[in-house]
Amino acid sequence: MGKLQFVVLLCVACGNDAMGPQPEAGNADAPSDGSLDGRTDAPMDASPRDAYRCTTDAGGGPTHTVYLAVDGVSLVRGNCNEATTSCTNLISADVAVPPLLAGNPNRQQVISDLVGQLQQTLAPYEVAVTTTRPATGPYMMIVLGGTCSQVTGSPLCSGLVTGFATQDCGNQVPSDIGLVFELPNFNGARYANVVMFEIGFAIGADTTSVQGDCMCQSCGGASTPCTLGIDVPIFAGCGGGTQDETRIFATAFGCR
Ligand SMILES: [Ca+2]
């Protein structure tokens, strides 16, 4: 099992100084290629970096899956981060997460919008988004539903917290689990942005304060689709400096 990094709270509007890693100041000379420590680069490593933007088919590769658990799932507390067994260290006790927006008349529309936006944002990459649990792993599982306190029992929960995730520096864990909480007035687009953040976190991307970026830690309330940047200044969760998010996604999933 890969090493587990720290847990980050993704917030609707919490300030960067309120929680989470601090920005690294004046580090203009840091590597800008977003390379992942200890990881062998994917075959499309040939420069120029445009190759990472998945503008052309890189020749296929394994199909990856992001499973959105929106219909309720039982999570098991453990020192683990394993979607196939629903085992996670993000919770304080075993918990049955309720379905997302149970009883809400807009439920299906929200889920449809959420899936649609994710599929559009991830279209360049070799990754499928589904609400049906795969029969076998590996797959990433993003659990949506329940309140932060209800699901995690964590004292860190507040009305601003939209999700919990474990940062997987170097993407060593193949079947990560992320949690997204049910929040008032969140539509599909807003949920999609939170999920994108968690997917990035689970493949080793770092957090940023850049508005509109998918790894923006304090942009959880944004209702327009987030984007993946190329030279994004980041906090120092895995490294620091800047990161090429298109490269990180292409390395993790491959180009479609
Ligand atoms: Ca991972």
Q: What is the pLDDT of residues 104-149, one digit of tens each?
A: 999 999 999 999 999 999 988 999 999 999 999 999 999 999 999 9
Q: Per the structure, how many domains does the chain have?
A: 1
Query: How many whole angstroms from 181 Cα to the centroid of ligand 1?
Result: 20
More confident residue, 238 or 100: 100
> What is the 105 CA–ligand 1 centroid distance (Å)?
34
Asked if residue 180 belongs to a domain, the reply is yes
3-state secondary structure at position 69: strand
For the chain, give the mean pLDDT. Answer: 81
From the CA of 159, how far away is ligand 1's center (Å)?
Answer: 27
Considering the entire predicted model, what is its pTM?
0.81
Q: Identify any residues that bridge with 180 across adjacent strands, giving them in sequence order.
A: 144, 163
Is 45 inside any structural domain?
no
- Is 245 domain-assigned? yes
43: confidence class by pLDDT, cuts 50, 70, 90: very low
**CA-CA distance, 71 to 111, in Å (whole number)?**
10
| Distance from the alpha carbon of residue 142 to the mean position of ligand 1, in angstroms | 12
- Does the residue 39 lie in any domain? no
196 within 8 A of 206, measured Cβ to Cβ: no
What's the domain range around 188? Answer: 7-12+61-253
Q: Using 50, 70 and 90 to split pLDDT, how confident is the model at 256? A: confident
**Residue 217 clears pLDDT 90, i.e. is over it:** no
Closest CA to 19 of 183, 187, 209: 209
Residue 32 belongs to some domain of the structure: no
Strands (E), the chain: 7-11, 64-69, 73-77, 81-82, 87-88, 95-97, 127-130, 140-144, 161-166, 177-180, 232-234, 241-243
Does residue 22 lie in a domain region? no
CATH number at residue 177: 3.40.390
Lowest mean pLDDT among 55-64, 180-189, 205-214: 55-64
> What is the whole-number distance in angstroms between the Cα of residue 2 and the centre of ligand 1?
9
Contact indicator for 187, 113 with CB cutoff of 8 Å? yes
Residue 244's alpha-carbon distances to 74, 144, 166, 233, in angstroms, are 35, 28, 20, 9
Q: Is 47 inside any structural domain?
A: no
* Dist. CA 15 → ligand 1 center (Å): 26
Q: Is residue 37 part of a domain?
A: no
